[in-house]
Amino acid sequence: GIQVEQSPPDLILQEGANSTLRCNFSDSVNNLQWFHQNPWGQLINLFYIPSGTKQNGRLSATTVATERYSLLYISSSQTTDSGVYFCAVESELFQGGSEKLVFGKGTKLTVNP
Amino acid sequence: DVKVTQSSRYLVKRTGEKVFLECVQDMDHENMFWYRQDPGLGLRLIYFSYDVKMKEKGDIPEGYSVSREKKERFSLILESASTNQTSMYLCASSSQTPISNQPQHFGDGTRLSIL
């Protein structure tokens, strides 16, 4: 099956710094999502981005489907950005149009004050 | 906003017990999913359902079953709980479209400990 690799596995920043998280995938995908899991375990959708670039405040994401990678940019990081960031790709459809998401192992981000 | 509600945030059960984890969504979504999350392994799909009374196995269905009697509710059942089922369990839902392009929305998770 499709492989999803995220890098770096761990990242420590000072508040105000910028960062780039990377997601590589081994095969063509129908879609890609970025999630943030906060320290309480809640998994929040950040972006739904099969290709191109999207921005939401201090966060933006770019997916280059032809080269099989996606990048998540965090600018002017804040302590509330801490948590684990997951990339998940949709690689096949099941009966009824349900998509199957395959998750990477995540990047654990710690932003220190 | 989509609301996916899991019945418990924390749950402690004993080996051999039958355990039910409940998930309810309020957006009339057709698809519902159960994942487990373990350190170093990320999220792995246990079961999913694309319609009432329909279910499909995910990547790690062994030791689990599911029930979907109503569209808004999807239950995960541990028939005889074992210590290796101690984990974080996450439920998700999504809408079906002719072309699949709807994101999955997650509940807050249930941290299950089997003693």
- Give residue limits of the domains in chain B: 4-114
- Measured in angstroms, the CA of A35 and the nearest CA of chain B are apart by 10
Going from the C-alpha of B87 to that of each of A32, A51, A113, B25, the distances in angstroms are 25, 33, 31, 22
- The domain total for chain A is 1
CB contact (8 A) between residue B106 and residue A43: yes
pLDDT at B41 over 90: no
Q: Do B42 and A106 lie within an 8 Å CB cutoff?
A: yes
Structure tokens at A50: 């099969």
pLDDT tens-digit series, residues A34-50: 999 988 888 998 999 98
A10-14 and A107-112 beta bridge pairing: parallel
Q: How many Cβ pairs within 8 Å bridge chains A and B?
A: 74
- The residues, any chain, with a CB within 8 Å of residue A96's CB and separated by 6 or more, are B30, B31, B50, B51, B54, B96
Whether the bond into B61 is cis, omega within 30 of 0: no
CA distance B56 to A94: 9
Domain that holds residue A58: 4-112
For residue A13, the domain's CATH number is: 2.60.40.10
CB B47 within 8 A of CB B76: yes
Give the model confidence (pLDDT) of B58-75 as tens digits.
889 999 999 999 999 999
Query: The domain B4-114: what is its CATH number?
Result: 2.60.40.10
Q: Express each pLDDT in B48-107 by its tens digit.
A: 998 899 999 988 999 999 999 999 999 999 999 999 999 999 999 988 765 555 778 899
Residue type, A21: L
User: Can you spell out the DSSP letters for B59-100?
Assistant: S--TTEEEEEEETTEEEEEESS--GGG-EEEEEEEE---SS-
Nearest residue, CB atoms, A103 vs list B43, B50, B54: B43
pLDDT for res A90: 84
